[in-house]
A and B are shown apart, each in its own frame.
Chain A
C-alpha cells in the first residue's frame, strides 16, 4: 500500500501536481507528444482492466449499502415527518465533508483499504437516496393507500405489496443519480491508492503523461453511461405499468381497436 502512496506524497501535494500536469497538457501539441499513445493502452490492458473492475466494485458497493441504509431511514422519515428535516440536514453535512478529510480519519481505523473508500462514498449517497425514498413514498396517491387499507392490507403487507412497488420509479431515479455520481467520485480514492480508474489519473499526473488520464476519463464516462442505461432498463422491467400510464392515449386507442376487433385480440 505504501508503494502506492510513495509516488504521491513526494509529488508535493496534489494541487501542484494537477496544475503542472494541466500546464503541460496544453503544451502537449508543441512537444509533438500525442495526447493518446495507443500502444500504451495495448501494453497495459491488464492493469486497465484491473482498475476498471476495482472501479466497478467501488462504485456499486456504496450505492447498495447506501440503499440498504436509506430504505429504512427514508421509510421512517416518510412516516414520522418531524424526522425528515434533521435527517436531511445530517446527510447534507456528511455530503459537505471533503472525502480527503474522511480518509484521514478513517485510515487510522481501516487503513489503506477499500473500506476506507467505501465508507465515505456510502455516506455521500445518503443525501440523494434518503430523499428519493421519501419522495417515492410521497408519490403513492393517498386514495390508493386508503383503498389498500380498506381492502384489508396490514401495514407491512401494504408497504411491500403496494407502496414500495409504486415508489420504485422515484427511488430508481435517485439510484441512477447516486450511481452515476459515485462512478465519478470513486476516482478520489486514488488519494490513498484505492481509486479504481482514478489511479490512472495519479499515474498520468506523476509521470506527466496524458494517455492514462485520457483513458481513465473515457472509461469513467463510458461506465457511467452503461450503468445509467442498465438501471433504466431494470426500472422499465420492474415498472411496466409506469409506461402504460404515460402512453395512456395510445393505449386507449389500442383498447378501442381491440373492442372493435375481438378476434384479432384473441390471437
Chain B
C-alpha cells in the first residue's frame, strides 16, 4: 500500500503542482490518476519513486517513509513505464529488458533468460531480442517498456500514460493484454492517464485531479460514473457519462459471464478476449496490429 499524507509540491516559482494530497493506493490493484494536463497527476506519480520530492507531507510504502531509502535503491524496486517508452536506443531489446537485473548485479545469463520469458509474456516475438528499439513499432516498444519494468519483479509499477502514444487499435489491445497480465501478477499499479475511458477500463480505483493539484474525487469507476463529486468531475466525465456507465456495466456482466464460462472448463484466455470484446474495435485490433504479438504467443 502506498499512502500520501498531506503531500504538497510547490515549485520555487510558486506554482503548486499538488495540493495537500491524502491518498491511499491499495496493494495489488490498479489505481488510476486521471485529470487534465497540469493537474499534478504525473507529479504525484513521480513522488512515489522520488523523481520529485514533496515540499511537505509524507509518502509511505507499506508503512515505510520513502525518504529513508536512498533514491536509486528505492527506484530499483519500483517498475516505471512512460509514454515515449524511454527505451535505451543503444541497447538491444533483451538488454533493455534486463536493465534493472543488471543494476542489481544479478547473474547475466539468468537475467537474459528471464528477459526472454518476459518478452513472451508481454506478447513479443523472442526473435526481436537482438534488435534495437528503433527497429520496433511503437506498440512493440511499449511492450518492451512494460517488460523492462517487470524484469526485477517489483511489487510496485508506476505507469505514466504508457499507451497514449500508440494508435487506438493497438492501444485497446495493449490495455486488454495489460489487464490480463495484471490478473496474474497482482502488482500495485499507479497508472496516469488523461483519458477517462482508459481510467474507467483499467482502474479498480480512480483518483480525479483538477487543475491546481487538488484531488476532486477518489472512488471506484462505478461510484465515479454514478455520483460525480462535483461539477468539475461531471464535466470531465463528459456528456457521454451515461453511455460510459452503461458500457462499463455491460463489461462487468460480460466478465462475470466469461468467468463462469472459464470455471466450467473453457480456456480462460478466450474469456478475457470476449469480455474486452464489448468494445468492437478489439476484434480488428488483434487481427491487424496484433499480428506480431499473436505470432509471438503461438
Residues of A within 8 A of B (CB): 141, 143-144, 146-154, 157, 162, 165-166, 239-242, 244-245, 248, 251-252, 254-255, 258-260, 262, 265
Residues of A within 8 A of B72 (CB): 152-154
Chain A residues whose C-beta falls within 8 Å of the C-beta of B83 in the assembled complex: 143
Task: Give, as a whole number of angstroms, the nearest-CB distance from A237 to chain B.
Answer: 13
Q: Return chain A residues, CB-CB under 8 Å to B76.
A: 151-152
Contact of A259 among B74, B89, B127 (CB under 8 A): B127
| B82 contact from A143, A165, A239, Cβ within 8 A | A143
Which of B82, B125, B131 contacts A146 (CB under 8 A)?
Answer: B82
Report B176-200 residues with CB < 8 Å from chain A CB.
Answer: none
Interface string of B195-228 (1 = CB under 8 A from A): 0000000000000000000000000000000000
A244 touches B86 (CB 8 A): no
> Is the C-beta of B49 less than 8 angstroms from some C-beta in chain A?
yes
Determine whether the beta carbon of A143 is less than 8 Å from that of B86: yes
Residues of B within 8 A of A252 (CB): 135-137
Beyond known contacts A146-B51, A255-B128, A265-B127: 16 more, CB 8 A cutoff: A141-B84, A150-B75, A150-B80, A150-B82, A151-B80, A152-B74, A152-B76, A152-B103, A162-B88, A241-B89, A245-B89, A251-B135, A252-B135, A252-B136, A255-B131, A259-B125
| Cα A254 to Cα B86 with chains together (Å) | 24
Does B292 interact with chain A (Cβ within 8 Å)? yes
Contact across chains for A241 and B134 when beta carbons are under 8 A apart:
yes
- A258 CA to B129 CA, complexed, in Å: 12
A253 to chain B, nearest CB (A): 10
Which residues of chain A are within 8 angstroms of B80 by Cβ–Cβ distance? 147, 150-151
For B100, give the chain A residue with the smallest CB separation. A151
**Chain A nearest CB: distance from B274 CB in Å?**
26
Q: Would you call B243 an interface residue if the criterion is a C-beta within 8 Å of the partner chain's C-beta atoms?
A: no
A144 CB, min distance to chain B CBs, angstroms: 6
Could you say which residues of chain A place their CB within 8 Å of the CB of B135?
244-245, 248, 251-252, 254-255
Q: Which chain B residues lie closer than 8 Å to A265 at the CB level?
A: 127
Chain A positions within 8 Å of B109 at CB level: none
Residues of A within 8 Å of B269, CB to CB, are none
Residue in contact with B87 in the complex, picked from A147, A255, A262, CB distance below 8 Å: A147
Please report the C-alpha to C-alpha distance between residue A63 and residue B271 in the assembled complex, in whole angstroms: 65
Verify if B291 is at the interface (C-beta below 8 Å from A).
Answer: yes
A147→B82 contact, CB < 8 A: yes
Q: How far is the CB of A240 from chain B (nearest CB, A)?
A: 8
- Please give me the residue from chain B that is nearest to A249 by CB atom: B135
Total A-B pairs in contact (CB under 8 Å)? Answer: 101
- Minimum CB distance partner of B140 in chain A: A255
- In the bound complex, CA of A152 to CA of B80 (Å): 10
Binary CB contact string for chain B from 67 to 85 against chain A (1 if under 8 A, 0 otherwise): 0000111111010101111
- Residues of chain B within 8 A of A255, CB atoms compared: 127-128, 131, 135-136, 292
A244 in contact with B51 (CB, 8 Å): no
Are B292's CB and A259's CB within 8 A?
yes
Most A CB contacts (10 A, CB to CB) among B51, B83, B99 go to B99
Q: What residues of B have a CB within 8 angstroms of the CB of A254 in the complex?
A: 135
* Contact (Cβ within 8 A) B90 A241: yes
User: Do B75 and A152 touch across chains, with their CB atoms under 8 A apart?
Assistant: yes
- Is the CB–CB distance between A152 and B73 below 8 Å? yes
Closest Cβ–Cβ distance, residue B123 to chain A (whole Å): 12
Task: For B248, list chain A residues within 8 Å (CB).
Answer: none
Q: Does B236 contact A (CB under 8 A)?
A: no
Chain A residues whose CB sits within 8 angstroms of the CB of B134 once the complex forms: 241, 244-245, 248, 251
Complex interface: chain A residues within 8 A of B75 (CB): 149-152
Instruction: For B137, list chain A residues within 8 Å (CB).
Output: 252
Q: How far is the CB of A26 from chain B (nearest CB, A)?
A: 54
Q: Check A143 against B85 for contact (C-beta < 8 Å).
A: yes
- Please tell me if B64 contacts chain A, counting CB pairs below 8 Å: no
Among residues 129 to 160 in chain B, which have CB atoms less than 8 Å away from a CB atom of chain A? 131-132, 134-137, 148, 158
User: What residues of chain B lie closer than 8 Å to A239, measured between beta carbons?
Assistant: 90
Considering the complex, give the chain A residue whose CB is closest to the CB of B70: A154
Q: Which residues of A contact B263 (CB under 8 A)?
A: none
Q: With both chains docked as a complex, state the minimum distance between the C-beta of A234 and any C-beta of chain B, in angstroms.
A: 15
Docked-complex contact B132 and A245, CB < 8 angstroms: yes
Q: List 15 A-B contacts (CB under 8 A).
A: A147-B80, A147-B88, A148-B86, A150-B86, A152-B72, A152-B75, A157-B103, A162-B88, A244-B134, A245-B135, A255-B127, A258-B125, A259-B127, A259-B295, A262-B295
B108 within 8 Å of A (CB atoms): no
A158 nearest in chain B by CB position: B72
Q: Which residues of A contact B247 (CB under 8 A)?
A: none
Across-interface contacts of B82 in A (CB, < 8 A): 143, 146-147, 150
A151–B127 touching, CB < 8 Å: no
Closest residue of chain B to A162 (Cβ to Cβ) is B88
Q: Which of B83-130 contact A (CB under 8 A)?
A: 83-91, 99-100, 103, 125, 127-128
Cα distance, A165 to B75, chains bound together (Å): 22
Q: Do B51 and A149 touch across chains, with their CB atoms under 8 A apart?
A: yes
- Give Cα A162–Cα B90 distance, bound, in whole angstroms: 8
CB pair A144 B87 closer than 8 Å: yes
Which 6 A-B residue pairs are closest in the complex by CB-CB distance? A147-B86, A245-B134, A152-B76, A150-B80, A251-B135, A152-B75
